[in-house]
């Protein structure tokens, strides 16, 4: 089984050749970006890197919910940052989404991002039905 996930509470990326999320029997793969669907650029609400990180994680959570998951089911994230100076503000917002010691595995990379975005986060979650009791 492979199902594309779309949420009304997250960008659908309708202008781009990518999906906001994919659900399989065991896993959910999702991406969060603060992209305004109308303009194709960073959302006005993403004033700071912390704001943008919160928007990205909120979008991820919305897509995960479409598969019956949440951020608590995430086992791996990759955080893409446009510049090294974005790392600390991203981390300040990011750490508020998981309890200490329960954070997913994470890689952080500095890359070029489109749409004038400074943060993009992708995640892999394990579906609750795939977890042992």
Q: Can you read off the two tokens belonging to residue 39?
A: 């303009």
- In the 8-state DSSP scheme, what is residue 6? -
**Predicted TM-score (pTM) of this structure:** 0.94
Concatenated DSSP letters for 44-63? TT--SHHHHHHHHHHHHHHH
- Model pLDDT for residues 1-29, shown as the tens digit of each residue: 999 999 999 989 888 888 999 999 999 99
What are the chain's domains? Answer: 3-130 (3.30.1330.40)
SS3 at position 99? coil
- Model pLDDT for residues 24-54, shown as the tens digit of each residue: 999 999 999 999 999 999 999 999 999 999 9
């Amino acid at each position: 089984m492979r199902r594309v996930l779309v949420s009304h509470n997250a960008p659908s990326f309708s202008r781009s050749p990518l999906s906001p999320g994919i659900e399989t029997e065991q896993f959910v793969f999702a991406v969060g970006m603060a992209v305004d669907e109308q303009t194709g650029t960073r959302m006005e609400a993403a004033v700071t890197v912390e704001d943008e990180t919160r928007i990205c994680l909120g979008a991820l959570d919305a897509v995960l919910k479409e598969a019956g998951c949440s951020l608590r089911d995430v086992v791996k994230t990759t955080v893409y940052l446009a510049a090294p100076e974005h790392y600390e503000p991203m981390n300040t917002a990011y750490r508020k989404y998981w309890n200490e010691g329960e954070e997913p595995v994470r890689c952080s990379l500095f890359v070029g991002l489109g749409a004038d975005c400074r943060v993009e986060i992708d995640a892999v979650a394990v579906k609750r039905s795939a977890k042992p009791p």
